[in-house]
Amino acid sequence: MTQAEAKNDKGKDLLGVRSVLFLPASNPRAIARAREAGADLVVLDLEDAVNPDHKDAARAAAVAAVETPWLMPVAIRVNGAGTEWHSLDLQAVAGSTADYVVVPRASSAELVRDTAGRLSKPVLAMIETAAGVLAAPPIASKAAGLIAGTNDLRADLRLPLDATREPISAALQLIVLAARAAGIAVFDGVFNNLEDGAGFLSEAQEGRRLGFDGKSLIHPNQIAACHQAFAPSAAEIERARALVEAFHGGAERFGDEMIERMHVEAAQRVLSRANT
């Protein structure tokens, strides 16, 4: 299978994905829990979540974990290019049954293209550096999906530790624009405070308003709120149905506004998301 074929085939599996749950591949209890937690996509992490002394064991555990069927697509996040574990990770993932490979700190289309070609698996590219943001459009052209790495992006931009999302809002919008131009899925970054449920929900809702398809998660307890945030409300669904039923072609009046085909297509996306 070519890289383009892999992208088109597996990229379809990302339609309707709202929750992307990251967990350390070195933690067997977390893997067991993730199987039943209800996330739309699970990422077994070999990178930041794994102590350097446990990299080899985590790699073996991730490969073993995907051999048993899951209820949802599963990806493995490899260590970044230039690290001592990168080649070993790629070799292991290439021989695994993982659905996707997640590439951290993606900064060029060539890296994504070469990884997809070497593994014959679609790539989810993490945009988490200034270079990655500026190269997001060509990266998106070679990826099956983009993931905003907000923690690393803040660090790369040298923002204060307590920085809000406002200083990276332009970068987040550029990531969404790149994904939409390429016709692929795009996921927001993680929310770090596990005890702040209201804060998580607010940030997830903001991510939906920015145009993200879903959000990266660091704990199963965030799944329900994530699905709530990215699901259309009852009022949105009712309006979308009425709009689709009222449309007869061309520009016409719907209540107090003028609608045309683009509005119908947006309403159909709402109804499609409501059925996921």
| CA atoms of 218 and 190, how far apart (whole Å) | 7
How many distinct helices (H) and strands (E) make up the chain?
Answer: 13, 10
Structure tokens of 43? Answer: 């990422």
Please report, as a single letter, which amino acid is at residue 54. H
pLDDT tens over the chain, length 276 residues: 454 444 445 555 798 899 999 999 999 999 999 999 999 999 999 999 999 999 999 999 999 999 999 999 999 999 999 999 999 999 999 999 999 999 999 999 999 999 999 999 999 999 999 999 999 999 999 999 999 999 999 999 999 988 899 999 999 999 999 999 999 999 999 999 999 999 999 999 999 999 999 999 999 999 999 999 998 877 877 787 887 888 877 777 788 888 788 888 888 877 777 766
CB 34: neighbour CB atoms within 10 A? 23
End-to-end CA separation in angstroms for the chain: 28
Give the closest residue to 228 by CA, choosing from 253, 251, 250, 208. 208
Q: Which domains are assigned to the chain?
A: 3-231 (3.20.20.60), 235-274 (no CATH)
- Strand, coil or helix: what is 98? coil
